[in-house]
C-alpha cells in the first residue's frame, strides 16, 4: 500500500496537566478511530501555564515521568507512531528546560528525540515573548524512519529557518508541532508551511494550539496537512480537533520525478 493515514491533533491547552492529558487521550482516540498510523500532538500540549515559568516545575527527566508514561501508553494502546508535540525536559540548568519532541513507535518504545533549536522572541506593543528566558536551545537535527519514509522533526519557530529542513536530508514528511501566536500566525503560518513543503517536495503535518488560553494568550490554530506540491489537504481553524490526511508515496515520487528540484540543487 502506498497510502498511509496520518493526523494532527489541535488543542487549547490549560495550566493543568491532568486536564490536558484527558483532552489528548480523547483526541488521540479520535485520530485512531479515523485510521491514523502516525499522529502528532501540538507544542506545549501538556501545559500552557499562567506564566512561562510554570512549565519548569513540570520538567521530567528523560524516560521518567507521567507525561512520558502517558505518551508511551497511548502509542501502544492505539498501535500508531506518536510524535509527542513538546514537553518540558530537565536541562540541568536552574530555571530553564528543554522544549522536547519525543517519538514513540507503535509498541510504545522511544524512537526519536528532538530538542527545539530556535527559540521564539517577539515584541510588538504590549505583546512580548522570549522563550530563551526559560528554555535551553537544542543543538542537533532530529528525524526518524517511519514505514513510509523518513520524518523530519521541527517545532514552531523552527519553521522560519529553512536551512534546518535542508539539513534533514530527503524526507517524506516534516512535522511541525506549534503554538504560533495569533498575530504571527495570521501573517505567516500557512505561507511558511507551504513553502517548506514545496522546497523540500514532501508532506507537511502541522499540529497547533488553537484558541484563547486561560493565561490570556491567543494561539492561531489552523493545524493542517500539506502535500508535496504545496496544496493544503486539510485544516482546522480553531478549537480542539483532529486533522487527517493521507501520505501517498506514489504522489511523492511523481512530484519529484516531474520536477526534480532536489537533484538540481547546487549548494
- Residue range 19-30: mean pLDDT, rounded: 98
Confidence of residue 71 (pLDDT cuts 50, 70, 90): very high
Confidence of residue 129 (pLDDT cuts 50, 70, 90): confident
66 with 17: CB under 8 angstroms? yes
Q: Is it the case that residue 236 has pLDDT exceeding 60?
A: yes
Per-residue pLDDT of 187-223, as tens digits, reads 999 999 999 999 999 999 999 999 999 999 999 999 9
Nearest Cα residue to 156 out of 105, 95, 207: 207
Helix or strand run (H / E) with residue 236:
strand 232-236
Residue 124 pLDDT: 87
Instruction: Provide the 3-class DSSP secondary structure of residue 74.
Output: helix
9 with 41: CB under 8 angstroms? yes
The number of angstroms, rounded, from the C-alpha of 247 to the middle of its chain's C-alpha atoms is 17
Q: Is it the case that residue 36 has pLDDT exceeding 60?
A: yes
Active site residues: 43, 116, 156
Measured CA to CA in angstroms, residue 91 lies from 50, 56, 88, 135, 151 at distances of 21, 10, 9, 8, 25
- What is the distance between the alpha carbons of residues 32 and 249, in angstroms, rounded to a whole number? 21
Cα end-to-end distance, the chain, whole Å: 35
- Residue range 9-31: mean pLDDT, rounded: 98
Q: Is it the case that residue 242 has pLDDT exceeding 70?
A: yes
Q: Is it the case that residue 1 has pLDDT exceeding 70?
A: no
pTM: 0.96
What is the span of the domain harbouring residue 71? Answer: 3-264
- What is the distance between the alpha carbons of residues 107 and 214, in angstroms, rounded to a whole number? 35
Q: How many helices (H) and strands (E) does the chain have?
A: 7, 15
Q: Is it the case that residue 123 has pLDDT exceeding 90?
A: no
Burial 1-20 (b: 16+ CB within 10 A, else e): eeebbbbbbbbbbbbebeeb
Q: Is it the case that residue 232 has pLDDT exceeding 70?
A: yes
Question: What CATH number is associated with residue 42?
Answer: 3.60.110.10
Helix or strand run (H / E) with residue 245:
strand 241-248
Confidence of residue 181 (pLDDT cuts 50, 70, 90): very high
At residue 35, φ and ψ (nearest 5 deg) are 90, 15
Measured CA to CA in angstroms, residue 225 lies from 173, 231, 243, 251 at distances of 10, 9, 7, 15
Backbone dihedral region for residue 103 (phi beyond 0: left; psi -120 to 50: alpha; all else: beta): beta
DSSP string, 166-209: HHT-S-SEEEEEE--BHHHIIIIIHHHHHHHHHHHTSEEEEEEB
In the chain, how many domains are there? 1
- Residue range 260-267: mean pLDDT, rounded: 92
> What is the pairing mode between strands 223-226 and 203-208?
antiparallel
Confidence of residue 248 (pLDDT cuts 50, 70, 90): very high
Amino acid at each position: 500500500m502506498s497510502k498511509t493515514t496520518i493526523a494532527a491533533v489541535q488543542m487549547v491547552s490549560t495550566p493543568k496537566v491532568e486536564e490536558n492529558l484527558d483532552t489528548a487521550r480523547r483526541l488521540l482516540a479520535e485520530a485512531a478511530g479515523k485510521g491514523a498510523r502516525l499522529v502528532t500532538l501540538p507544542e506545549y500540549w501538556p501545559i500552557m501555564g499562567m506564566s512561562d515559568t510554570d512549565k519548569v516545575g513540570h520538567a521530567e527527566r528523560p524516560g521518567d515521568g507521567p507525561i512520558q508514561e502517558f505518551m508511551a501508553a497511548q502509542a501502544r494502546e492505539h498501535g500508531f507512531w506518536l510524535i509527542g508535540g513538546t514537553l518540558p525536559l530537565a536541562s540541568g540548568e536552574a530555571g530553564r528546560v528543554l522544549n522536547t519532541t519525543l517519538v514513540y513507535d507503535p509498541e510504545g518504545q522511544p524512537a526519536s528525540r528532538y530538542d527545539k533549536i530556535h527559540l521564539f522572541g517577539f515584541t510588538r506593543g504590549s505583546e512580548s515573548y522570549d522563550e530563551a528566558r526559560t528554555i535551553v536551545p537544542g543543538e542537533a537535527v532530529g528525524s526518524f524512519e517511519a514505514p513510509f519514509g523518513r520524518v523530519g522533526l521541527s517545532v514552531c519557530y523552527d519553521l522560519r529557518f529553512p536551512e534546518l529542513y535542508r539539513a534533514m536530508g530527503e524526507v517524506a514528511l516534516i512535522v511541525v508541532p506549534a503554538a504560533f501566536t495569533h498575530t504571527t500566525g495570521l501573517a505567516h503560518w500557512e505561507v511558511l508551511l507551504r513553502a517548506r513543503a514545496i522546497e523540500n517536495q514532501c508532506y507537511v503535518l502541522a499540529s497547533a494550539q488553537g484558541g484563547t488560553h486561560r493565561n490570556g494568550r491567543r494561539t492561531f490554530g489552523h493545524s493542517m496537512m500539506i502535500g508535496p506540491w504545496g496544496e493544503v489537504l486539510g485544516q482546522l481553524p480553531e478549537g480542539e480537533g483532529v486533522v487527517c490526511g493521507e501520505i501517498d508515496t506514489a504522489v511523492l515520487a511523481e512530484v519529484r520525478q516531474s520536477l526534480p528540484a532536489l537533484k538540481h540543487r547546487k549548494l
